Chain A
């Protein structure tokens, strides 16, 4: 202990960064395990490589900058985890490794480490990979559960991950959003294009093509509710994201069902649930106040819908998160809490008026 007299308070609630990160990881676990089962060993290998790359990059960066290692807080693991969940499950190993490097080195340490980054590191990496390697990043595989016949074993899985992407025609498939976009561009309307894929039960358990984190919405939702219950996150951002996505989607679908996917499809596909509960709620890159968080979340939801509906990419969550991350300082500047005894503008409140009211 230093010689300085420690100031009050001389008690602590017991919260710590490591504990928060552990809660988030616990909440992600069911969806991740489900994803592993659904997509088999290649997904497991990719996950391990991505998380490993993040941890290694963090270690090297902190060694190079000669600062104390902060691996113990688990934030690098979580970044890798979220990134892995947003990658195509059978993507090659180098995608995971490069993504992990970008997330930690460029997305986080370059800004000065934990707490200093302006953008969500996992989303920085995902967007960088998506614009650099669009083909690899949009090759989805149809689910092939670990227990099913013909699923790759541990060794085979390793080969798939380490080698170039798997033979396209055998297993390549499109995610729901990608499929709808392609069909729409070919002139087929959405109603025919997605057909059976909008069966709600089918979407909830997520037995369809997509990243680890977009299948199994129900598990992600359960994880999100767990985070809400433990107080790790608050309801403002998730609710605002989902509302920002669902409200315009419902309006669009009601006006022109042939061109706009229904709200349920928007909510249950892509990274909607993962983004609402796990990615946009990132402490570092989201606003401080409840009102600011509502604005921030709604902005992400709305922007995601806009990109999905009119943009060039089938999925827009990552872009929306990054754009709103950039706006966070502005939101923080304009959404300040009211100080007790002051008006919103900061002037002391009128005592005489209150006495009169009483």
Chain B
């Protein structure tokens, strides 16, 4: 009886000490998952997710407080990649996937106020004061920050046209 009690107590104490030491010596400063998620994200820090930049969103997603689908520029593809990395299921139903979108400017309404240029996280809008602005399609991430800033509603999101080189065969309908 005594022997059992003593041995179990010793065992417990030894293991406890080991655990304590392990947590001290093997402590990880930053969560590596967060860094990994951040690398997956667009990195334009557009702020549409409501978190402070992509790093903030990555931390929130890793902590489980945000959905992997919270990044509009990343879209469905990013949500799936993140969900696969974290091994969690993600509800993509709410995420409309109409393909990538970019901002476009209606030249007859644009007054050249440069407000959109100032908020664009990737400097994708060209133009100066009192000049018609233009969006560089290749640089636009489709974050939509500029849309609200436009005083004349000259900016709108437009679907990026699919070209021959980018067209993808549809997946065959599941059979039986």
Contacts and interface: CB of A to CB of B under 8 A. Distances in A.
B170 A68 contact: no
B176 A70 contact: yes
Interface string B155-176: 0000000000000011011001
Interface of B: 169-170, 172-173, 176
B169 A7 contact: yes
10 contacts: A2-B173, A4-B170, A4-B172, A4-B173, A5-B169, A7-B169, A67-B176, A68-B176, A70-B176, A113-B176
Interface string A1-23: 01011010000000000000000
A4 B171 CA distance: 9
A70 B175 CA distance: 12
B172 to A, nearest CB: 8
Contacts of A67: 176
Contacts of B176: 67-68, 70, 113
Given A5-B169, A7-B169, 5 more contacts: A4-B170, A4-B172, A68-B176, A70-B176, A113-B176
Contacts, number: 10
A70 B170 CA distance: 26
A93 to B, nearest CB: 32
B115 to A, nearest CB: 43
Contacts of A70: 176
Interface string A284-305: 0000000000000000000000
Nearest to A68: B176
Interface in A67-104: 67-68, 70
B132 to A, nearest CB: 40
Contacts of B170: 4
Contacts of A4: 170, 172-173
Contacts of A2: 173
A356 B173 CA distance: 49
Contacts of B173: 2, 4
Contacts of A68: 176
A276 to B, nearest CB: 30
B168 to A, nearest CB: 12
Nearest to A115: B176
A68 B170 CA distance: 24
A117 B144 CA distance: 50
Nearest to B169: A7
A7 B171 CA distance: 10
A2 B170 CA distance: 12
Contacts of A113: 176
A72 to B, nearest CB: 12
Closest 8 CB pairs of A and B: A4-B170, A7-B169, A68-B176, A67-B176, A2-B173, A70-B176, A113-B176, A4-B173
B166 to A, nearest CB: 16
A167 to B, nearest CB: 48
Contacts of B172: 4
B82 to A, nearest CB: 29
B37 to A, nearest CB: 30
Nearest to B170: A4
A47 B169 CA distance: 49
A350 B137 CA distance: 43
Interface in A33-72: 67-68, 70
A4 B170 CA distance: 7
A82 B71 CA distance: 57
A270 to B, nearest CB: 36
A113 B172 CA distance: 20
